[in-house]
């Protein structure tokens, strides 16, 4: 993991409906964000070719599919993803040790570009009340820390956690373990459906290696300028 180059640490989320909109937004962002995130909606709409073609064009891709299934299914899916050129792939830590181990094994056994596995600890749209409703044992911060330790032990390369738990994860995780934080908003921006948010600078100070930013870049009049301002906070 020590050979990982985070670039300017900014992942711009292509949270759009189709390939045409993705191409347009990626072009407007240009090189202001070193990473692009392709999430579930866009992947379903545009398919694996989008990942393959963007990676072939030199774009660094986080494929945010949050895989959560039996270990054998996840293992096979990760092996397919590893052929596309995405450098980061998300799975759910809640899938358990065997599933995480299967994903990590498939990623490391694949040929070509190394796909790193990120285990999602607790979605940033959830809080303690939500955890209680689904029967998860909290408090939320404790659950994030437990899942981060499990992910590290099971061979994941890092985790996705809100910036509010980044320092907790950093203290519990081994050296070189990646922390990727969504739920990042510029000061004064609306949180939307995110419940655990901070600014990019706060996330970085807490130990985040990379931050994912969606709407504040996508909806800006000048997405490249918005991305550059966030990247400057991270430098």
Give the active site residues.
66
Q: Token pair 């499990």 is at which residue? A: 150
Radius of gyration (C-alpha) of the chain in whole angstroms: 17
Q: Enumerate the H helices of the chain as residue ranges.
A: 19-29, 40-46, 48-56, 71-81, 97-109, 128-133, 140-153, 166-172, 200-206, 215-218, 223-234
DSSP per-residue string spanning 95-142: G-HHHHHHHHHHHHHSSSSPPEEEEE-S-TT--HHHHHHTT--S-HHH
Structure tokens at 168: 């907790």
Q: How far apart are CA 44 and CA 38, in angstroms?
A: 10
């Amino acid at each position: 993991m020590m050979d990982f180059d985070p670039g300017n640490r900014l992942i711009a989320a292509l949270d759009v409906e189709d390939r045409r909109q993705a191409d347009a937004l990626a072009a407007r962002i240009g090189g202001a964000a070193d990473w692009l995130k392709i999430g579930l909606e866009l992947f379903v709409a545009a398919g694996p070719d989008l990942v393959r073609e963007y990676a072939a064009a030199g774009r660094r891709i986080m494929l945010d599919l949050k895989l959560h299934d039996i270990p054998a299914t996840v293992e096979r899916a990760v092996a397919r993803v590893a052929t596309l050129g995405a450098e980061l792939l998300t799975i759910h830590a809640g899938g358990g040790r065997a599933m995480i181990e299967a994903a990590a094994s498939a990623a490391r056994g694949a040929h070509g570009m190394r796909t790193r596995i990120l285990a999602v600890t607790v979605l940033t749209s959830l809080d303690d009340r939500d955890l209680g409703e689904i029967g998860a044992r909290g408090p939320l911060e404790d659950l994030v820390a437990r899942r981060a330790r499990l992910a590290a032990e099971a061979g994941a390369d890092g985790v996705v956690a809100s910036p509010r738990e980044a320092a907790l994860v950093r203290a519990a995780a081994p050296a070189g373990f990646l922390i990727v934080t969504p739920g990042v908003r510029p000061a004064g921006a609306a949180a939307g459906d995110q419940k655990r948010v901070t600014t990019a600078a706060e996330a970085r100070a807490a130990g985040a290696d990379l931050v994912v930013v969606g709407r504040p870049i996508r909806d800006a009049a000048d997405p490249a300028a918005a991305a550059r301002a966030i990247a400057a906070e991270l430098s």
